[in-house]
Structure 1
Amino acid sequence: MNNTSDPLPPLAASAHVAHVKHALARLPGSMVNVDASRMAIVFYCIGSLDLLGVLETETSQVDRTSWRMWIWEQYVAGRYGTGFRPGPFMSTSVHSDQNGPHIIMTYTALLSLAMLRDDFSRLNRPGVLKFVNSCQNRDGSFSSMPNGGGDSDLRNLYCAFCICSLLGDWSSIDVERATTFVGSCRTYEGGYGQLPSCEAQGGTTYLAIAALRLAPPGPRPRLTAAEQARSEHWLVHNQDASGGFRGRTGKAPDACYCFWGGAALQILGAQDKLNAHAFTQFIAACQFPFGGIGRAPGQPPDPYHTYLSLAAVAMYAPRLEPGARRYGQWEFAPFDPLLNASGDTVRWARSHIPARRF
């Protein structure tokens, strides 16, 4: 591990702000492959501004209003309920199944609106719950779209659990079948694969552990002490000598896995087992000279790695020595690792998204 006495490079906050603001205005041609996930890109960009504490100071009211309007334009209704689609490129027919909501994009849209301090007066809560219900499969897993449409893996299950948690209503899904499915994705190493019998990965391990922690109490513990210890062991040993985290055993470290691995350890209460100084040094080295953060030192940046890297540091900056934080400006407001957003945004979401009770 890197020596904790080594100084931290400064956080290039202004350059990162410029990077995500540019992506909000126009994605470069090199990112055409992510156009089908436009709602998620909006989440990463607005989320980066939120984490840096500049969403209101570095953007105009006009911009924030236009972003809210664009997100609500993706809110669609149909026979399977209501939710958010990935973007406007879908079918123009409101009755087309291809124009229907997507569970991951619904999760990112709700949090993006919370970052923008929307009042959620347009949200049809029963319709969202109906949509989430339509995505659950017989084995307890969730598909990205209703009635088994799209992918079916732990990403969708985690997003379904987040949506139910934000709404404060778990009645539309079978939680026990879902948590049993999560358990079936656990591997002998202690990590979790995307599906049963798949190799353990850092991202899906986070999704599994966060989902189990979000779930309401059941008849049995969601994680036994032995299962938790095995997961902690696997996660800790995926921190590379550089301070970064590997996504899979034997792979090179990647900045996004600093979030997935670091957040999973945070949820498990094992954050002390991570070398926070080396962790932050690795992310600092992934900063691109002209703004944004890439997956590894010297790699080009993108909104995905920028947001997850900032979120990773937000969790672990309090564990740095005060002098190191001040020198490099590596200081952030509290972060919620379960829902993957700043503490203030999660508080806003939890107070405005649930059905109002009179």
Structure 2
Amino acid sequence: MAQTFLKKKHIKFFERCLQILPSRYCSLDNNRMTVGFFGISGLDMLDSLDVLENDKENIINWIYSLQLLPDDIDSNIHQCGFRGSTTLGNPFKAEEARKHPIPLDSGHIANTYTALLSLIILGNDLSGVDKRSVTTGLRYLQQEDGSFCCVPEGSENDKRLVFCCVPEGSENDMRFVYCACCISYILDDWRGVNKDKAVQFIKNSMSYEGGIGQGPGTEAHGGSTFCAIAALVLMDKLYEAFNEKEIKRLKQWCISRQQTGFQGRPNKPVDTCYSFWVGATLKLLDMFELTDKGFNRGYMLETQNSITGGFAKWPDHTPDALHAYFGVCGMSLVGEEGIQPMHPALNVSQRAADHLENIHKLWQSKS
């Protein structure tokens, strides 16, 4: 495998992700927004958004078309947010969809997160986002234990929740706690999150090993540890949630995940995406400089495809959108030339995060 970072190949890979995908991606059609985010943010990280200049407005309009808006009497406000695609057949224009809602239609917390980030990356000012309905929708997703579901669940006691996307309830774990915190941070509005409950859920999810699982009593995992620590950083609650001893154990667990690249759990093979998940966690804990960047970079380059571009999870495997994106993010963390620096907590370029900060200043000046 080439030991040179093939930037031009990766640019072409992300361009293809936004144009046409192999048939094996069909099962991800309802999460098209998130796959799109990997392509958009991947190009941004490579400082190559200019290749989208002719399509930028069309992409922004497509993203806004996925926003589920409240009807005139707010009967569906618990379902608001951004869909992952038009799988249900709703009209391209959000206003038309508002007038003719589909009973089982619903936003999805992960796609809301990636939609908002994509808009920021593309330079949009978020003026088209119905902030009130998005934050209200978040409140319906938070559970008693502080975790979040990805879509609203049905309830016999609330007639508004009878026709929800998943009447029996959805998964609820650390991934969606992170998404909720990112959405609230982006919109500069935390009314949709009970911070105390969310922090307690994260605290309860720390395992005996020192890492953090998807929920209480679950195995510590690199992905869920990132979600937990990034959520606490965005809430400005990291050192309130964990004491000095717990932070030390957490750092030790994370730094121990490096073999050549990083693994997600003990006794598991290394995987490209954990160079971001664990690497970004160490960055947030001010520990990344203690990693072996040479070993980490070397492993990631072994997984890059010299023909098509993109990264795979393992050497000699087919690259995919997720690992290609997090491979680029991992290379950013080790300081690879030609890649933008990251805002690790939001999982976006620092340039995009700076644009978001300017949006916040504008909102605050008008309030």
Matches within 5 A, 1:1-358: 9-56=3-50, 58-59=51-52, 61-78=53-70, 79-80=76-77, 82-90=80-88, 92=90, 94-147=100-153, 149-217=169-237, 221-240=240-259, 243-290=260-307, 291-317=309-335, 330-352=337-359, 355=363, 357-358=365-366
Q: Which moved more, 1:169-178 or 1:252-261?
A: 169-178
Question: Please, which runs of 5 or more residues in structure 2 have no aligned partner?
Answer: 71-75, 91-96, 155-168
Q: What is the deviation of 1:158?
A: 0.3
Q: What is the deviation of 1:275?
A: 0.6
Amino acid at match of 1:85: R
Q: Is the 8 A contact 1:80 1:134 kept in 2?
A: no
Identity, in percent, stands at 30
Q: What is the deviation of 1:62?
A: 2.7
C-alpha spacing 1:356/1:273, structure 2 compared with 1 (3 Å): same
* CA distance in structure 2 between the partners assigned to 1:353 and 1:147 by the alignment: 32
Q: Is the 8 A contact 1:39 1:71 kept in 2?
A: yes
State the partner residue of 1:5.
Answer: none
* CA distance in structure 2 between the partners assigned to 1:179 and 1:83 by the alignment: 23
C-alpha spacing 1:278/1:68, structure 2 compared with 1 (3 Å): same
Could you report, residue by residue, the CA deviation over 1:309-344 in whole angstroms, capped at 9, with x for unpaired residues? 111111221xxxxxxx5xxxx342221100000001
* CA distance in structure 1 between the partners assigned to 2:130 and 2:328 by the alignment: 32
TM-score, with length taken from structure 2? 0.87
Q: What is the deviation of 1:244?
A: 0.9
Tell me the SS of whatever aligns to 2:297.
helix
Tell me the SS of whatever aligns to 1:25.
coil
Amino acid at match of 2:218: C
* CA distance in structure 1 between the partners assigned to 2:150 and 2:17 by the alignment: 25
Amino acid at match of 1:118: N
Tell me the SS of whatever aligns to 2:201.
helix
* CA distance in structure 2 between the partners assigned to 1:255 and 1:228 by the alignment: 25
Q: Is the 8 A contact 1:74 1:85 kept in 2?
A: yes
Off by >6 Å, runs of 4+ in structure 1: none
Tell me the SS of whatever aligns to 1:138.
coil
Q: Is the 8 A contact 1:213 1:222 kept in 2?
A: no
* CA distance in structure 1 between the partners assigned to 2:212 and 2:313 by the alignment: 22
| Bigger relative contact order, structure 1 or 2 (CA pairs below 8 A, ≥6 apart) | 1
Amino acid at match of 2:274: Y
Question: Please, which runs of 5 or more residues in structure 1 have no aligned partner?
Answer: 1-7, 318-324
Could you report, residue by residue, the CA deviation over 1:104-126 in whole angstroms, capped at 9, with x for unpaired residues? 11110000011111122211111
Tell me the SS of whatever aligns to 1:98.
coil
Q: What is the deviation of 1:49?
A: 0.3
* CA distance in structure 2 between the partners assigned to 1:183 and 1:10 by the alignment: 41
Q: Is the 8 A contact 1:167 1:350 kept in 2?
A: no
Q: Is the 8 A contact 1:75 1:84 kept in 2?
A: yes
Tell me the SS of whatever aligns to 2:240.
coil
State the partner residue of 1:321.
Answer: none
Tell me the SS of whatever aligns to 2:54.
helix
Could you report, residue by residue, the CA deviation over 1:176-215 in whole angstroms, capped at 9, with x for unpaired residues? 0111001111101111111211111110010011111111
Q: Is the 8 A contact 1:294 1:301 kept in 2?
A: yes
Q: Is the 8 A contact 1:91 1:98 kept in 2?
A: no
Q: What is the deviation of 1:217?
A: 4.6
* CA distance in structure 2 between the partners assigned to 1:214 and 1:344 by the alignment: 17
* CA distance in structure 1 between the partners assigned to 2:106 and 2:134 by the alignment: 12
* CA distance in structure 2 between the partners assigned to 1:171 and 1:224 by the alignment: 27
* CA distance in structure 1 between the partners assigned to 2:318 and 2:30 by the alignment: 21
* CA distance in structure 2 between the partners assigned to 1:295 and 1:121 by the alignment: 37
C-alpha spacing 1:97/1:234, structure 2 compared with 1 (3 Å): farther
Q: What is the deviation of 1:357?
A: 4.1
